[in-house]
Structure 1
């Protein structure tokens, strides 16, 4: 038996998220269908996590078991020939049977993109949140630094989050400018449901002067005492990399 690890890139615009579900076509379902056609039988993918509807990925990690001896190239080039244009396998490799993409992960890197132009951009509309008006970047960076470290992020999750603990370790939150875009790069050991999007929504409120960095510190020191900012739209979020 072989354990094959895939790095998958996808545009999540037209999908109901990563996980197979009854209310729409998912990335996982599309991948498993293509793998089944390639290997002439059902295949089950195990991923490093889930992404919601509309969220993108450059580095989703997934594995599957097979007794097929087809060359590794078939799981990248061959599989890509069966996948739609908005999903692709960036790389494939054989890993030890005990490797698990979720339980062995040490951390993840998400990037959230905000478009800063005064007018809407047709080219940016599917991959960035269009935020008009001035933003106080110094205040946003000050608030971002307060999010780094181990904190109780209970105020930064949406309903339906089934996590047993809301304590998470955040290694970095960087707010950077790139052309007409603002990039928020978040690296950490793990994340609650919609946590990154709520972090970004809170930072935007700080940038607009509707919330102070001190108010963000209060959210972390007294979780549940008040609510975080709005959940940023899903299309600005991309899973960049999973660390092992």
Structure 2
């Protein structure tokens, strides 16, 4: 059996996240059905992580096993003709038998985009979080810096997924403005449920003056979700980079 890794991108608006759901359409289910038509047998994909409903991926890695001998360079076009326009397989490549898109992932980067303008942009609906009140990105950046490092992130984990540990390592969390758009870029070895969206919400609260950016360490040590900022909407969140120990397409 060959182990094939796929690099794909998708707009998550129409989907209930990556993972297969009983009563909702997911990216994984849609991709598996298209792949099965191409390789001629049922397919089970392993994805790089569980993106929530409405969340997008500029880049995403999934792998699957197949007995098909179809060349990897032909897979993307063959699969894309069977996929809706909002999911695209960019590249495919054979990887080691031990490769697992989630287990082999060393770190991930998400970018959250805020459209910070008095007037919304019709072309960015469900692609950014429209926020009309001016935000001071320098204050947000000060709050973001306190998340960097190894911490217990229970204060920014939404209820819904049980995990063995809420300790994670954030490698960087930057906040930068480009015109009316603020990009919040965070990289970590792993993320808790809604962690990025709650971290961004906490930075926004700091910019609104609801607490000081320097209160973030105490919020984290308190491990109380209600002390942090809100979970911001999913449409502004994108998976933007993934790192692996072996070459992936």
1:160 equivalent to 2:160? Answer: yes
1:226: how far off?
5.2
Q: Contact (CA 8 Å) 2:158, 2:225: kept in 1 or not?
A: no
Report the counterpart of residue 98 of structure 2 in structure 1.
Answer: 98
1:227: how far off?
2.2
SS at match of 1:14: coil
1:78: how far off?
1.3
Report the counterpart of residue 195 of structure 2 in structure 1.
Answer: 195
Q: Contact (CA 8 Å) 1:112, 1:236: kept in 2 or not?
A: yes
**Which has the larger displacement, 218-227 or 34-43?**
218-227
Report the counterpart of residue 125 of structure 2 in structure 1.
Answer: 125
- TM-score scaled by length of structure 2: 0.95
Report the counterpart of residue 37 of structure 2 in structure 1.
Answer: 37
Structure 1 stretches of 4+ with a deviation exceeding 3 A read none
Report the counterpart of residue 55 of structure 2 in structure 1.
Answer: 55
Alignment of 1:77-92 (within 5 A): 77-92=77-92
Q: CA–CA distance in 1 between the matches of 2:226 and 2:77?
A: 50
Q: Contact (CA 8 Å) 1:136, 1:209: kept in 2 or not?
A: no
Structure 2: gaps of 5 or more residues? 245-249
Q: Contact (CA 8 Å) 1:5, 1:62: kept in 2 or not?
A: yes
1:150: how far off?
0.3
Structure 1: gaps of 5 or more residues? none
Q: Contact (CA 8 Å) 1:219, 1:226: kept in 2 or not?
A: no
1:83: how far off?
0.7
Q: CA–CA distance in 1 between the matches of 2:91 and 2:225?
A: 45
Q: Contact (CA 8 Å) 1:109, 1:188: kept in 2 or not?
A: yes
Seen in structure 2, the aligned counterparts of structure 1 residues 81 and 225 have a Cα distance that, compared at 3 Å, is closer
Q: Contact (CA 8 Å) 2:146, 2:217: kept in 1 or not?
A: yes
1:116 equivalent to 2:116? Answer: yes
Report the counterpart of residue 229 of structure 2 in structure 1.
Answer: 229
SS at match of 2:202: helix
Q: CA–CA distance in 2 between the matches of 1:133 and 1:234?
A: 19
1:53: how far off?
0.6
The root-mean-square deviation of aligned C-alpha atoms, in Å, is 1.2
- TM-score scaled by length of structure 1: 0.97
SS at match of 1:38: helix
Q: CA–CA distance in 2 between the matches of 1:224 and 1:16?
A: 27
Report the counterpart of residue 186 of structure 2 in structure 1.
Answer: 186
The C-alpha deviation readout for 1:179-217, integer Å capped at 9, x for no partner, is: 220000000100000000000011111111112112212
